[in-house]
Amino acid sequence: MLQIRDLIWGLLFIGCAASIQVQIIPTQGEISVGESKFFLCEVVGDAKDIDWYAPSGEKILPNRPDIFVSRTDETTSSLTIYHANVDSAGIYKCVAKNGNKEAQATVQVKIFQKITFESAPSPQEFNEGDDADIVCDVVSSPPPAIFWKHKGAKIEPLKDVRFRIMSNGHLQIRGIKKTDEGMYNCEARVMARGEIDFRMMKVIVNVLPTIRARQADVNATADIGSSALLACDADGFPEPTVTWAHNNVVLETGDKYSLNEDGSELVIKDVKKVDEGDYTCIAKNKAGEKTEEVSLNVFVQPKITYWKNQTASEFDEEVTLTCEASGDPTPVISWSFGNRVFTEGEQSLDRNVVVRSHARVSSLTLKNVQFTYAGQYLCTASNSIGQDTKPIYLEVRYAPKILGEVTAYTWEGNPANITCEVEAHPGASLVWFRDGLQLPSANTTNMRIYNTPTISYLEITPDSQNDFGSYNCTATNVMGSESKEFLLIPADVPSSPQIQQVEPFSSTAVVEFEEPDSMGGVPIIKYIVEWRLLGEEWTGREFEAEDDMASITIMGLKPESTYEVKMSAINGKGKGESSLLTVFKTEPVPGEPTAPKLEVKAQKGGNSFKVNWIKQDDGGSPIMHYLIRYKAKHVSEWKPEIRIPQGSEYVLLNGLEWNTEYDVYVVAENQQGKSKPGTLSFKTAVQPTTIPDATGGGSGLGTGAIVGILIVVFFLLLVGVDVTCYFLNKCGLLMCIAVNFCGKAGPGAKTKDLEEGKAAFTKDESKEPIVEVRTEEENTPNQGGGGPTEPNETTPLTEPDGKTVKDDNAKGETETKNATAEVKTVPNEAPQTNGNESKA
């Protein structure tokens, strides 16, 4: 078809070589509101410009959001109308020009609106007696005719004046009744197109509740454990909910109130005088609500009717607090302050406190007022029915009182804070002095003052010994002032720690010590531990000081060797003297290593995780390798075991299932045996939703990219053939490199260890291990005896919990080349070995 059309256009071009012809495909178009459509303008002849014009005559510019124009090639231009609306209708013109030659074509675009129900909610609810307006909003072009049906019959407003079809198509029912309830059909028709559509809507008629109180007045006694019952009955449609309110607060079931299932009965527990009053029974449904009042009369709980806070000044002769209460029988009034209770008369413990009572009034008199008298006093009125308590606050105004340590330590060049904390009411202003001069003065650039409402900090950075000495803090308020001298003392280095004992193991030792007797005035920052074999150089390491630190673990020791150890402490001033030497001897090699400590970190993508492990005690002999297993929690079978060489610090698990919990364990193995497993659990992320390419189809790969991929595949194929030749026939490029440059023999000369899947180093002792990951073909015997587990810097002194790893690997088990985990090895930057350690 395409060839025939091209032939026709070719003939037209030959016949009209000197002219330009334009054709628009399709020649006309009808578009529904909201839909999109494109038109193609094809030109015969040479056309330099192809332009589109809107019905308004305005040239359509490219990249408009509603109308898009693009020229696809020399003879074709397209017009795309997106999400058409009624304003998009009209005659569009395509004009082709080349110099003074011009040709054009037009296309008629018609826009119409299909029947659309913009709003026809169901159900629609109305209250009985209201004028109901049943909503049915429909649009189309031309506008539709609306018909209503109820119970299968067409509604005819001429026969029932209560019904009326509004100009907007809504159905109005005047004074709607319960019998009008049911399903209504709103039908829309467009006669010109024969188009019809309808919506069914459910109409519900709600009936306002009615309510009746069983008893308008209820009497209760304010007795311990007594209760009162308030009840009302309600009716309506839908079934009304009944709630209770008191003082505009809705009551709910709890310690004080209890409601039955339908809420008609309210039980007030443990009735008190404050419960007295009107309670509102509220019946509510969708039609509205009705209320009924029920009065509760309570007899007679004590109630405090008068109390007043007081203010006094320290050293006033006296201050009196007064409390008045009502109740029947007449309540007895008592006073309390904190945990202390005051009784009638002069107090035996403190004659400065006197209580006097008369009828319903009681007073508490405090003589020779002290600032400690300030606070909350409780006045309690009680009788055989119950009690009432009110707090009365006493405010005491007093002169400042300065608190806090009077000494501070520092050294030249190091800032230190002298803290002046003050208690005062009202608040006090604080000023610093030295030698009678207020600080900071014009000549003091090494001092700063920071103030809070109750504390002033004097920051001093000593420049010389002259800055040490006495500083005065003076606090002043309207009640008076107080001064206090503070001393800034030069700090010193700490004294030496005292080593109490050394608990040795085969390759580690725990040094237990006591803190220095003198800290030098400032906190200890670090401890330095130094150790050596007898007659050799010292080895040292710094350890950050911690609260209540009493032991430090040193590592990298040789088994059955005699060592000397000493300690020193560092504070901000500097390093102190070292302790006396302590001699100890390490234990023989105990056995297998302790379990590694595991950490996990999600990688980019969400279904890849990096499992790190921290080497713990190696049991006195080097770690040969790590064994890793993992599985999803919901399955019983573990993935094939992964073997990682000793220098590695992590394994990367790829291709995990989305949104799945996994268990992983790592076992360290040395010549003596395997450790207990270090275990860890983690959960993968939820699989992200793939967002399709919004730019449309197309592979996105050019010819060059495809050729490049083919070259890479061909190269990898050649490498695979060469590696196969190297291992099977001892020939190829790889064989040549191994013999001529590395001095290596063929694969037939591999050592027994390498054939068993163990790591080996290259001949030039490169740091990069050669790793074969495969399942074990034989178990490593657990040589040697047990012995205590050795601690190190990162593990507790107790053994970590862990299940014994079962060695399920049998001889002949296939290599784990298809395991889903990607294994990466990260050797230590500078692995150290000695004569007693065997290379991996």
Residue 504 has pLDDT above 70, yes or no: yes
Q: Region 410-428: what's the mean pLDDT?
A: 92
Q: What is the CATH number of domain 116-206?
A: 2.60.40.10
pLDDT-based confidence at residue 4 (cuts at 50, 70, 90): low
pLDDT tens for 108-148 read 888 888 888 999 999 999 999 999 999 999 998 888 999 99
pLDDT at 779 over 70: no
* Owner of token pair 């330099």: 48
pLDDT at residue 785 greater than cutoff 50? no
Same fold, 116-206 and 592-687+724-840: yes
| Three-state helix/strand/coil letters over 789-808 | CCCCCCCCCCCCCCCCCCCC
Which of 18-22, 346-350, 768-772 has the highest mean predicted lDDT (pLDDT)?
A: 18-22
| Higher per-residue pLDDT: 235 or 702 | 235
Neighbouring residues of 1: CB distance < 8 A, sequence distance ≥ 6: none
Q: What pLDDT, on the 0 to 100 scale, is given for residue 7?
A: 52
652 vs 638: CA distance, rounded Å: 16
Position 757 scores a pLDDT of 35
Q: Which CATH number is 214-299's, of 1.10.1060.10, 3.40.30.10, 3.40.190.10, 2.60.40.10?
A: 2.60.40.10
Domain 498-585 in CATH 2.40.10.10? The answer is no
CATH of 303-390, one of 3.40.640.10, 2.60.40.10, 2.20.28.90, 2.20.25.190: 2.60.40.10
* CA dist list (Å): 696 to 349, 547, 693: 93, 64, 6
Query: What is the CATH code for 404-490?
Result: 2.60.40.10
- In this structure, which CATH number among 3.40.50.720, 2.30.30.30, 1.10.10.10, 2.60.40.10 belongs to the domain 2-112? 2.60.40.10
Q: What integer pLDDT is reported at residue 59 of this predicted model?
A: 87
821 versus 137: the higher-pLDDT residue is 137
- Residue 823: pLDDT band (50, 70, 90) is very low
Angle, in degrees to the nearest 10, between helices 703-729 and 733-740: 60
* Residue given tokens 């018909």 in the structure block: 147
Largest CA distance in the chain: 132
Q: How confident is the model at residue 792 (pLDDT cuts 50, 70, 90)?
A: very low
**β-bridge pairing 625-632 and 469-477:** unpaired
Confidence (pLDDT) at 79: 87
pLDDT class of 232 with cuts at 50, 70, 90: very high
* Percent share of the chain, pLDDT over 90: 43
Q: Which residues make Cβ contacts (< 8 Å) with residue 835, sequence separation at least 6?
A: none
Q: Check residue 590 and give its pLDDT.
A: 65
- From 46-55, 302-311, 758-767, the region with the lowest mean pLDDT: 758-767
Alpha carbons 443 and 648: distance in angstroms, whole number: 61
- Bigger pLDDT: 827 vs 658: 658
Rank 380-394, 485-499, 587-601, 620-634 by mean pLDDT and report only the highest: 485-499
Q: Rounded to whole angstroms, how far apart are CA atoms 251 and 281?
A: 10
Average pLDDT over residues 208-225: 86
Looking at every residue in the chain, the average pLDDT score rounds to: 81
Q: How confident is the model at residue 752 (pLDDT cuts 50, 70, 90)?
A: very low
Name the least confident of 244-258, 704-718, 736-750.
736-750
| Residue 758 pLDDT | 36
Q: Phi and psi (nearest 5°) for 519?
A: -85, -5
Q: Which residue has the tokens 């109180």?
A: 213
Structural tokens at position 396: 């005491």
- Amino acid 19: pLDDT: 80
Render 220-263 in DSSP notation, one character per residue: EE--TT--EEEEEEEEEESPPEEEEEETTEE--SSSSEEE-TTS
Provide the residue ranges of all domains of the chain, joining segments of one domain with +.
2-112, 116-206, 214-299, 303-390, 404-490, 498-585, 592-687+724-840
pTM for this one? 0.37
- In the numeric block, which tokens belong to residue 54? 């809107």
- Over residues 337-376, the pLDDT tens digits come to 988 888 787 765 667 889 998 888 999 999 989 888 999 9
**Residue whose token pair is 């159905």:** 171
Least-confidence region, from 80-94, 562-576, 780-794: 780-794
pLDDT digits (tens, 9 = 90+) for 519-552: 988 899 999 999 999 889 999 999 999 988 999 9
Position 589 pLDDT exceeds 80: no
Kindly report the CATH number that applies to the domain delimited by 592-687+724-840.
2.60.40.10
Out of 142-151, 209-218, 784-793, 816-825, which region has the weakest mean confidence (pLDDT)? Answer: 816-825
Q: Is the pLDDT of residue 210 over 80?
A: yes
